[in-house]
Amino acid sequence: MTTPIATYQKKPNVRFRPMGEWNMLLAYTPDNPNVVCLNTTSWLILETLDGRGRSEAADIFLDAMGDVAARQDAQRVFDEGVTLLEERGVVEAVVQA
C-alpha cells in the first residue's frame, strides 16, 4: 500500500502580478476576494512550494537562505510562510496516491 504524498500548488484561480520595482508579488484570491502582498521571502516560499512536497520545498528554501539566517530561524520563517499562504488561499496541498 502506497502512502499518499501531499504536494503544494498555487491555487489555479489565483492571479499573480510581480511588482519588481517594489520587490513584491501581488496575489488576487477570487474565492475569498482579497489582494495578498508577498514580500521577497514569502515569494520565494511560494515558488519553492509549487509542485513539491513540504520537506523538499523546505530544503530548497533553507539552501537558498544560506548564511543569511540561522537554519532554525529559516525553518521557522518557512513554516510560518507556508501556513500564511494556505490561510490566505494562495496555495493548497494536494494529496496524490
Q: What would the pLDDT profile of 22-49 be if each residue is shown by its tens digit?
A: 999 999 999 999 999 999 999 999 999 9
Percent of the chain scoring above 90 in pLDDT: 78
pLDDT at position 68, please? 64
Residue 54 CB neighbour total at 10 angstroms: 16
Q: Between vectors from CA 9 to CA 4 and to CA 14, what angle results, nearest 5°?
A: 145
Cα 83 to Cα 49: distance, rounded to the nearest angstrom: 12
Q: Which residues of the chain have pLDDT under 50?
A: none
Nine cell digits for residue 9? 500548488
For the chain, how far is it from start to end, CA to CA, in angstroms? 10
- pTM flag (> 0.85): yes
